Structure 1
Amino acid sequence: MVEDARQRFVANWLIENGFDPASLVALGADASARRYFRLQTPAGGRVVMDAPDQVAVCEAYLRVRRLMEAAGVHVPAVDRADAQAGVMVIEDLGGTDYLAALRRGEPAEPLLDDALVALVRWQAATAPAVLPAYDADRLQAELDLFPTWYVRQHLGLEPDTQWWAEWRSACEGLILAATNQPQVAVHRDFMARNLLVSQPNPGVIDFQDALVGPVTYDLVSLLRDAFFDFPPAAERAFIARYEAAARAAGIALPDPLDEAIDLMGAQRHLKVLGIFARLAYRDDKPSYLDDAPRFLAYLARELAPYPAYAGLRAMLDALPVKAARA
């Protein structure tokens, strides 16, 4: 592996903090600007997180990690952390995430049952004023990614006045539906890639963006995954299990729950289409757009039952299909 200046900095930091960087091996890239390395130590495997110029991200990681651990969620222990340097050495919870396990045919039920237990624990431990709010401004900023990056940049279209009017109306409805839900601690990317098969199961990672927001958000992230979809009957069964566990834990749920899940899903899937297009064109990661058809299929299903979103659905249906950027 070719070293760069930053990697040499990380290696020197490890030496200064009592670690031998000789075994440092790069892990696969993710959607962020952070890098991860696997490191062998006398105490076992560790993961090195390299987040240059991301002091706030590192501080958020440490803060949310403490909250999740206190809630009874399995998160990596931290051996060393230097937020100013942007380097952490954390526990290695294993190399198999839920996505890999599901794709190779492992039974979904025990994996998802464990994930739902962790989710309910996290939500039930919500404390006021500890995390920032997932408010209307944040939700709108996320929705804005769709016309900016997917419609204009990826499809090369310039929406007309009527399109923008319909879009603004739909955004208002989706944001109102989200902010009217009971608000709980939200991981914000509680999906198969961020759940590791471990003991206890699951190990939860990539939680530094947590906020307090709509109660259905993490459930949608889990069951309508960016890279894997469940048969409708299985999804309904998991929703029923979640609902029973959440109510038993005293977590307030919106009524009707199915509609809240659908409209939350629509907001998230429009956002992620925008993010994936941005990753393709700004960050030179075109493979993310390979999964765009899954999101468009989710959106068609989520919007179909609700006449108020017929205009948005027609707009989406009218968009051309374009392959991922080569």
Structure 2
Amino acid sequence: MSSNSLTLFLAAEDETRRLGEDLALAVTTGDCLALSGDLGAGKSTLARALLRAIADDDSLEVPSPTFTLVQNYDLRLPLAHFDLYRLSDEMELEEIGFSDALDTGVCLVEWPEKAGHALPADRIDIQLDFERGGRRVTISASPQRLQRIERKLAIRHFLDGRGYRGSTRRHLIGDASTRAYEYLYTTKGDRLVLMDAPRRPNGPPIRDGKPYSQIVHLAEDVYPFVAIATSLRERGFSAPQIVESDCEAGILLLEDLGAETILDENGKPLPERYRAAVACLAQMHDTTFDRYISLPGGHVHYVPDYDRTAMKMEVELLIDWHLPWKRNGTPATASERAEYLAIWDRLIDELDDAEKTLVLRDFHSPNILWRAGEEGIRRVGLIDFQDAMIGPSAYDVVSIVQDARVTVERDLADELTKEYVKLRQARGLFDENAFRKAWSIMSAQRACKLAGLWVRLLQRDKKPGYIKHMPRTLWYLGIAFEHPVLAPLREWCVKAGIETAESAQ
């Protein structure tokens, strides 16, 4: 097989276990790991550590599948553990469900040589050999798969070099971008959060020689996150402290703000916590933030404008992805596109009198943590703000009261918006009419963006889990249409066949 390889020396069994943890963070659906080596070389230790890490259960029973040939585990990643020592014919591999297991999860194979040519050519081969003082491990894989493994090993090297040798790593979450997060359990018993955010690769240029991410001002590295976190913390808001960092490598070790959210056990909004989040937002919008934020090492982050170009590029997601999806592949006509974008030009003109503040861009339930032991705005933990810009303050109010991932019922949304207005008016001059107009425009802008984004994630990025949010997004769009300023867009959507939902389902 065409592959690259890397070689590691493991001096002790603990290092073999840590390698298993690191591999558990690197593998994904469709990976086949083939473990080879003599008896006692560490295959079982490595397999057990990998399985327990994916299960996040150090006491998980991992019986040898020597007699059953396969043991299946329903974990974060479904995993099938094969021991082929007793395999008499490679044709048996299909009979025990190898292909199905690979389609839906990860296959971990001991004694792979027994399978002959039945294993996929594009696999991860792991050879363990005895060597004086320990074991030598050689990992061979395609460049793409090997790169994932090397990234997790580089993070382990980062941790070892900053006093966290021997710490336990566990998967926390991935998101719709290239970022991933881990929990780090230190040898002192503390828990931290590690952000794995390699520099965003530029996509193809789509306008004026720039990729989509640059046009809409998406963060391309971790410097914006560090800058905004520093700025928020200096002003009393609960952003995580940066404990350790390698900004060039895209690795941050962060304070753990906890795992409690603003949702109940059924995933529904807790009104008192949403009210606290809105109060935090109102105070943020009454706070002055610097445009230029200096960081150690001489780096200066400039907070960009949420400008016309960015807003229009985002709403084009509706016409580029949602409309063809709605029409079974038929794209928008040139006249439809021209009319749609002309409407948005006029709507953006209407934002001239809107208040402009720091907007975090995704101020909603996945990015808000509840800190019950704190008081006031400190109860509201803030994460995922690296794409912050200066734009209409109404945008972040829309983000929370029209939560993209959770249905906020209309009565609660209206109550939250009224409380926000009341808090802003109590602190000084605040133009409610201008705010209500900006709120409706930014609600429609966000809904149009998300209605296209869900389809793009489904079709281009093979992430079908987001499409379930479509009915809610279209319901929110219908609420935005209640303001008279949105009448032209509402009429365009009716003609284009885009129907707003009557409920969030």
Tell me the CA shift for residue 179 of structure 1. 4.4
Q: d(CA) in 1 for partners of 2:451 and 2:166?
A: 38
Q: Greater Rg, structure 1 or structure 2?
A: 2
SS at match of 1:229: coil
Deviates more, 1:244-253 or 1:2-11: 244-253
Q: Give the structure-2-normalised TM-score.
A: 0.59
2:347 to 154, 174, 178: 174
1:120 matched to 2:298: no
Does structure 1 conserve the Cα–Cα contact (< 8 Å) formed by 2:478 and 2:500?
A: no
1:37 to 172, 179, 182: 182
What's 1:63 paired with? 227
> Could you give the per-residue CA deviations for residues 139-160 of structure 1, whole angstroms, max 9, x where no partner exists?
1111122212222367412112
Deviates more, 1:247-256 or 1:46-55: 247-256
> Could you give the per-residue CA deviations for residues 219-258 of structure 1, whole angstroms, max 9, x where no partner exists?
0000001122222222221111101111223364452433
SS at match of 2:337: helix
Q: d(CA) in 2 for partners of 1:320 and 1:302?
A: 10
Q: d(CA) in 2 for partners of 1:316 and 1:295?
A: 17
Does structure 2 conserve the Cα–Cα contact (< 8 Å) formed by 1:177 and 1:264?
A: no
Q: Percent identity?
A: 26
More helix by share: 1
1:129 to 291, 295, 298: 291
What's 1:194 paired with? 367
The one-letter amino acid paired with 1:9 is A
1:17 matched to 2:162: yes
Can you give the 5+ residue segments of structure 1 that lack an aligned partner in the other structure? Answer: 322-326
Q: d(CA) in 1 for partners of 2:341 and 2:267?
A: 41
Does structure 2 conserve the Cα–Cα contact (< 8 Å) formed by 1:215 and 1:253?
A: no
1:183 matched to 2:363: no
Q: Give the structure-1-normalised TM-score.
A: 0.89
What's 1:82 paired with? 246
1:154-303 to structure 2, matched below 5 A, reads 155-198=328-371, 199-200=373-374, 201-250=379-428, 252-253=430-431, 255-303=433-481
Does structure 2 conserve the Cα–Cα contact (< 8 Å) formed by 1:304 and 1:313?
A: no
> Could you give the per-residue CA deviations for residues 272-316 of structure 1, whole angstroms, max 9, x where no partner exists?
122222222222211111111111111122114423334223145
SS at match of 1:14: helix
CA 173–310 in structure 1, closer or farther in 2 if over 3 Å, else same: same
The one-letter amino acid paired with 1:145 is L
What's 2:236 paired with? 72
Q: d(CA) in 1 for partners of 2:331 and 2:169?
A: 47
Tell me the CA shift for residue 266 of structure 1. 0.2
CA 49–156 in structure 1, closer or farther in 2 if over 3 Å, else same: same
Does structure 2 conserve the Cα–Cα contact (< 8 Å) formed by 1:304 and 1:310?
A: no
Q: d(CA) in 1 for partners of 2:318 and 2:199?
A: 27
SS at match of 2:306: coil
Does structure 1 conserve the Cα–Cα contact (< 8 Å) formed by 2:172 and 2:182?
A: yes
Equivalent pairs, count:
319
CA 71–316 in structure 1, closer or farther in 2 if over 3 Å, else same: farther
Does structure 1 conserve the Cα–Cα contact (< 8 Å) formed by 2:319 and 2:452?
A: yes
1:5 to 150, 166, 178: 150
What's 1:314 paired with? 494
Does structure 2 conserve the Cα–Cα contact (< 8 Å) formed by 1:179 and 1:214?
A: no
The one-letter amino acid paired with 1:112 is Y
1:143 to 307, 315, 321: 315
SS at match of 2:470: helix
CA 254–184 in structure 1, closer or farther in 2 if over 3 Å, else same: farther
CA 78–43 in structure 1, closer or farther in 2 if over 3 Å, else same: farther
Can you give the 5+ residue segments of structure 2 that lack an aligned partner in the other structure? Answer: 1-23, 27-148, 201-218, 293-302
Q: d(CA) in 2 for partners of 1:204 and 1:256?
A: 27
CA 8–303 in structure 1, closer or farther in 2 if over 3 Å, else same: same
Q: Highest relative contact order (Cα 8 Å, sep 6+), 1 or 2?
A: 1
Q: d(CA) in 2 for partners of 1:262 and 1:102?
A: 31
SS at match of 1:63: helix
